[in-house]
Structure 1
Amino acid sequence: MTLILTRSTIRALLADAVADVEAAVARAHRDLADSRAVLPAPPAMALPGASGTFLAMAAASGPDRLAAVKLLADLPDNRAAGLPVQRSTVLAVDADSGACVALLDGAELTRTRTAAATAVATRALARTDATTLGLVGAGPLAYAHVRALLPARAYEHVVLWGRTPARAQDLAARITAELGLPAKVLDNPRAVTEAADVLCTLTPSREPLVEGAWLAPGQHVNAVGAPPRPDHRELDTEAVVRSRIVVDAYDTARAKSGEVLIPLAEGALTEDDFRRELGDVLSGRAEGRTSAADLTLFNSVGVGLQDLAAARLLIDLAEERGLGLHVDLAG
C-alpha cells in the first residue's frame, strides 16, 4: 500500500517536529559525507518557448532504506495568474523492494526542510554569541526560518525587510506574538545586513539584493531564496568572494547555483572555493568557521536528500499516528 500525505496532514505532523526535522537533515548530510547516501545533480527540463523549468531532485539513502525523487516545477508565469511559482511532489520507494512507499505534497515539506538545513548550517558556522537575526524577505519561508533557528540560540531580536511593507509588518508582528522575540522592520536590505549577526536571504531574486561592501567580519550569511537557476542570485560577487563558502552539495551548486556560478564565470571564484560541503563540516572532514573574524556563507540550493530525510520522518510519524490515506496503486 502507498501512503498519501496531503499538505494539511504534513502541516499537522510537522507542527511539533522542528527539532526532529533538523536532526534528520543533519544526519542526511553526514550520511552523504560518509558515502551512505547518493545525491546526483538534478537535471533541468525546459519546454521550448516556455519560461518554466522542471527539476527531478533524486536521492537514495542506505540508513533510511528509501529512494526518492521530488519533481519541482518552477513556473515564473504563474505569478501573474495568482498561482504558486513553485509546486512539487515527492515520490518515495522502498530501497530493497522498489515498492512505492509514499506520495507527498512538496510545499510544506520543502519549506520546513529548507529552514532545517539553514538551522543545521547556522549552528555549525555562526558565532555562538550571535544575538541579531536578519531576514531579507518576508514570505512564509522567512517565518519558517525564525521558527527553526530559535531553539538553543540566544537571539535577542529580529530585523527584517520585505518588498511589500504591509507583509513585512505582519511578519514582524507574528514573530513577536507567536515566538516571543522582538522583531522590527527596517527600511532596506542594507540596513538589515549591517544590523545582523546572522543574515538569511529568502527571496526569489534574480539580481543581487545584498552587497559585499555591507558585510562585516564575523557575520554568517545563509543564501537560501534564489531558485535553482544559474542566472539567479541574492548576493553580489563581492559578498561571495569575501566569504568562506559552505554548500549543501557541490555537484548541485556547480550545476544550479547562480550564487557561485556567476562569480565563477567572472573569474572571481574558483571551483575549489565552493567544494566545502555541509556534511563534511558536520563530520569533521572540513573546517567551517576557523575564527571569530571569518565571514561565513551557507549557499543553500536545496537537495533531494533533504526531501528524502523529511519524507522518511513524515512517513514514520504518519504511521505512528494513523494519519494519511493508503492506496493500492497496483490494484
Structure 2
Amino acid sequence: MTLMLNASALQAVLDMPSTVQAVDRIFADLARGTAAQPTPSAMGVPSADSSFIVMPSVAAEPALASVKLLADIPSNAQRGLPSQRSLIMLADHITGDPLAILDGKVPTRIRTAAATAVATKYLSCPDSAVLGLIGAGALAVAHVEAMLCVRRFEKIVVWSRTEQRVTEFAAAVAHHGLDVVPMATAKEVVAACDVLCTLTPSVDPIVQGEWFRPGQHINAVGARPRPTEREVDAEGMARARVFVDHWGTAQAKSGDYLLALAEGAITEQAIVGELGQVAAGEIVGRRDAREITLFNSVGIGALDLAIGRLAYDRALEQGLGQSVDLSL
C-alpha cells in the first residue's frame, strides 16, 4: 500500500527540532557514503518559462530511495499560483515498494530552514545573538523556528520589499519572545546582524559583499535553482569561506557560485567543501571568531528523503493519510 500525505497531514506530523536532527544526520551520511546524492537534472521547453527539476536520493539508514519533482514556474505569480510546486515519492531502498507520495510544500519549507540551521550550528560564532533576515515570508517564519534550535538569538532584524509582510512576519513569530526590528534596507540588516539569511527569489544580487563584517555567517538560501539567478554578489562569494550543500548541485544550479566564477571573482577552489563534510568531522567549519563564512543552499533531494522518513513513520503511527493500492 502507498500512503498519500497532503499538506495538512504533513503539517500535523512534522516538527522543527526533529527535522533539524534528521537533516544533520543525512548531511553526515552523504559525507560518509552511506547515502547517495546525484546531481539533479532539469527539463524545460522553449514555449514556457517552467523548469522541472528531478531531485533523487537514496540512503541506507533511513532505508529509502526518494525522488522529488519540483516545478519552478516564475510566471505562476501572474496566475495567482505558487511559483514552486512539488511532489515527493518514497520507496523502500531494498524491495522498491512505493511507500508514500507527499505534497512537497510543507517538507520543502521545513527542511530548507533545517538545513540553514545545521549550517549555522557548524559555521556561525557560538555567541551569535542577532539574526538578520532579508525576506519576511513563510520561509522566514520557518527559519526563526529552525535557528532557535541551534543558537540563542535575542533579536531579529528584518527587511522586505513589502512593509505588510514584515508586519505579518512579526505577528507570526511573536510567541518566540524575541525583539523584532524592521529595517529600512537590506544593507542595514547586514550591518546589524551576526547571522544573515537571504530568503528572496531575487534574480540579481540583493546583498553586496562589501557589507559583510568580520565574524558574520551568511546563509544564501532564497535564489531559485537556476545558474543565472543569485542573491549575493561576486564580492560576497570572494570574501567568505564558502560551503555548499552538494558540490554537483552547486556546479549545475547555483547562480551565486556560477556567476561569481564566470566574473572571475573566485575559482573552483573557493568552495571549501560540503556541509556534510563538516557535520561528519572531515573538514573544519569556522576556524576563528573573525572569519566570514557562507553557506550556499541550493536544495538537495537527500533532505526530502530525511524529512520524508520522519513524516511517513509518524503518519503511520497516528493513522494519518490515505492508503492506496497502486498495483490494482
Change (3 A) 1:285 1:152: closer
Unaligned stretches of 5+ residues in structure 1: none
Counterpart residue number, 2:39? 41
Q: Is the 8 A contact 2:117 2:150 kept in 1?
A: no
Give the SS at the match of 2:85.
Answer: strand
Q: Secondary structure at the match of 1:128?
A: coil
Displacement of 1:274 after TM fit?
1.5
Give the aligned CA root-mean-square deviation in angstroms: 0.9
In the other structure, the counterpart of 1:99 is 97
TM-aligned CA deviation for residue 320 of structure 1: 1.3
User: Which residue identity is paired with 1:174?
Assistant: A
Please list the CA deviations of residues 66-116 of structure 1 after superposition, one character each: whole Å capped at 9, or x if unmatched.
111000000011001110000000011111111101000000000000000
- The 5 A counterparts of 1:220-239 are 220-239=217-236
Q: What is the deviation of 1:27?
A: 0.6
Displacement after TM superposition at 1:152 (Å) = 4.6
Which SS does the other structure have where 2:99 is aligned? strand
Matched residue, 2:241? 244
Query: Residues 255-300 of structure 1, C-alpha deviation per residue, up to 9 Å, x if partnerless?
Result: 0000100011112111121151001011111111000010000000
Q: Which one of the candidate residues 113, 136, 139 is aligned to 2:137?
A: 139
Question: Displacement of 1:174 after TM fit?
Answer: 2.5
1 CA distance for matches of 2:225 and 2:140?
18
Residue matched to 2:4: 4
Work out the CA distance in 2 between the residues paired with 1:272 and 1:30.
22
Correspondence for 1:180 among 171, 177, 182: 177
- Structure 2 gaps of 5+ residues are none
CA contact (8 A) 1:173 1:183 kept: no
Matched, 1:263 2:287: no
Shift of 1:65: 1.2
Select the residue among 251, 254, 257 that pairs with 1:254: 251
Mapped pair 1:300 → 2:297:
yes
Are 2:157 and 2:180, in contact at CA under 8 Å, matched by a contact in 1?
yes
- 1:72 and 1:187 map into 2 onto residues whose CA distance is 34
Q: Distance in 1 between matches of 2:150 and 2:4?
A: 34
Match of 2:193 in 1: 196
CA distance, structure 1, for counterparts of residue 85 and residue 202 of structure 2? 18
Please state how far the C-alpha of 1:172 moved relative to its aligned partner: 1.8
SS of aligned partner of 1:276: strand
Instruction: Give the Å deviation of 1:143.
Output: 0.3
Give per-residue Cα distances to partners, 1:95-143, cap 9 Å, x unaligned: 1111101000000000000000000010111001111000000110000
Which residue of structure 2 aligns with residue 130 of structure 1?
128
Task: State whether residues 133 and 196 of structure 1, in contact with CA within 8 Å, keep that contact through their aligned partners in structure 2.
Answer: yes
**Offset of residue 173 of structure 1:** 2.9
Which residue number in structure 1 is paired with residue 154 of structure 2?
Answer: 156
In the other structure, the counterpart of 2:209 is: 212
CA change 1:60–1:152 in 2 (3 A) is closer
**2:325 maps to which residue?**
328
Distance 1:306 1:317 in 2: 17
Asked if 1 retains the 8 angstrom alpha-carbon contact of 2:19 and 2:307, the reply is yes
Deviations 1:176-230 (A, max 9, x none): x221111011101000011010000000000001101111010000000000000
Query: TM-score normalised to the size of structure 2?
Result: 0.98
Q: Structure 1 CA distance, aligned partners of 2:307 and 2:152?
A: 26
Paired-residue identity, % = 49
> What secondary structure sits across from 2:149 in the alignment?
coil
Amino acid of the structure 2 residue aligned with 1:12: A
Q: After the TM superposition, which parts of structure 1 deviate over 3 Å for at least 4 consecutive aligned residues?
A: none
Q: How far apart in 2 are the matches of 1:268 and 1:48?
A: 31
One-letter amino acid matched to 2:57: A
Query: Does the CA contact (< 8 Å) of 1:250 and 1:275 recur in 2?
Result: no
Question: Where does residue 120 of structure 1 map in the other structure?
Answer: 118
**Contact 1:92–1:103 at 8 Å: present in 2 too?**
yes
Equivalent of residue 21 in structure 1, options 13, 16, 19: 19
SS in 2 for 1:192: helix
Residues of 1 paired with 2:313 and 2:270: CA distance? 38
